Amino acid sequence: MRIHLIACQVFCRELSAAIAQSPNIVAVSWMPQGLHEFPGKLREALQAEIDRVEGQIAAGALKFPPDVIALGYGLCSNGTAGLIARTRPLVVPRTDDCIALFLGSQERYMEYFTQYPGTYWFNGGWLENALLPTPDRYAAMRAEYAALYGEDNADFLMESGVGWGWIKNYRTCGYISSTCYENPAWRQEAAGMAAHCGWELMEVPGSRRLLDALLAGDWGGEFLVCPPGCATRETGLADKLVAVEMPAAQNQNQE
């Protein structure tokens, strides 16, 4: 089977390792990290990439067209709800976000969520690709505010939700170790981040189980397989997403 995978850049190391060991042939479109912060933009970007791949298929531009399009994303603030693939099945993990994928299951993610509420999660992929609350970033943000608004106002802004105030909503820094590569500097940065934010540091072993299943075609109940011509829809329940048939006219309008 041939799979075209559309995935967030934070999965680059883990998915690259999984692809190398997958029994299937996998082509990848890497998407920039951070799109989930604006779910509408994430949905738009993913739909555009799905359309691009299907456009290549329709034009006969691919020597070996994929049998399926898969997403290296969870629900991600509903950013993967409302997507449609017209000629290929669309496979989406039924997880809240990428953290469950790095932990190996939505069930394991929820166990940690219940046991350790107020946990800020990240791993090597996030350290390499995302803006995180490190001491250096704090200093840079404060200096920028001070230059724009003065010292007193800079302190106020940093303590508010505009700056660093959101840190108070978390108690634990959950660092997920990689299943394929560990950089000692990552753990040091995690410890520094936790100390700076006043969080307890918790290291959790990662798992590639769900990513391997995604690439192997083991699409049981932990994945939505959305048939061609159907759209993904968020349920608000444990299953996260379902497939709904699109009216013919609406389907044609998206072409």
What's the pLDDT at 36?
87
Structure letter (DSSP) for residue 91: E
- Between CA 255 and CA 253 the distance in angstroms is 6
Phi/psi-derived region of residue 89, left when phi > 0, alpha when psi is between -120 and 50, beta in every other case = beta
Cα dihedral 112/206/239/45 (nearest 10) = 120
Instruction: Specify the amino acid at residue 138.
Output: Y
pTM of this prediction?
0.89
pLDDT score of 145 more than 90: no
- Between CA 70 and CA 93 the distance in angstroms is 9
Instruction: Specify the amino acid at residue 2.
Output: R
DSSP alpha helix (H) spans, 84-171:
98-103, 106-115, 124-129, 135-149, 151-159
**Dihedral of CA 36/40/45/49: which sign?**
positive
Say if strands 2-8 and 241-245 run parallel, antiparallel, or are unpaired.
unpaired
For the residues of 54-65, what is the DSSP string, one character each?
HHHHHTT--SS-
pLDDT score of 111 more than 80: yes
Render pLDDT for 78-108 as a digit per residue (tens, 0 to 9): 999 999 999 999 999 999 999 999 999 999 9
pLDDT score of 49 more than 80: yes
Is residue 150 within a helix (H) or strand (E), and if so which, with residue range? none
CB 46 within 8 A of CB 83: yes
Q: What is the mean pLDDT of residues 6-19?
A: 97
- Between CA 101 and CA 200 the distance in angstroms is 23
What's the pLDDT at 249?
44
What's the pLDDT at 148?
84
Count the neighbouring beta carbons within 10 Å of the beta carbon of residue 105.
17
Q: What is the mean pLDDT of residues 3-17?
A: 97
Higher pLDDT, 148 or 66: 66
Confidence at 159, pLDDT banded by 50, 70, 90? confident
What's the pLDDT at 157?
78
User: Considering the chain, what is the average pLDDT of its residues?
Assistant: 92
Q: What is the mean pLDDT of residues 127-151?
A: 84
* Cα angle: 2, vertex 217, 232; to 5 degrees: 90
Q: What is the mean pLDDT of residues 122-148?
A: 85
**What percentage of the chain has pLDDT greater than the value 70?**
96
